[in-house]
Amino acid sequence: MENQLTVRPIKFRAWDEVNKRFSRAPVYINQEGETLMDCDPNGIQMSGKRSIMHKEYVIQQFTGFKDSKGQEIYEGDVFEPEDGEDFSGFVKWEDGRWCINWGGKYSDPCTDYHMDAFKVIGNIYENPEILSF
Burial of 106 (0-12, 13-18, 19+ CB in 10 A): exposed
pLDDT at 14 over 60: yes
**Please, what is the average pLDDT of the chain?**
80
pTM: 0.77
Structural domains for the chain: 12-130 (2.30.30.290)
pLDDT digits (tens, 9 = 90+) for 63-89: 999 999 999 999 999 988 888 788 888
pLDDT digits (tens, 9 = 90+) for 87-105: 888 999 988 889 888 876 6
| Of the candidates 76, 66, 74, the residue with the CA atom closest to the CA atom of residue 119 | 66
Question: How confident is the model at residue 69, as a pLDDT?
Answer: 93
Q: What whole-number distance in Å separates Cα of residue 55 and Cα of residue 52?
A: 9
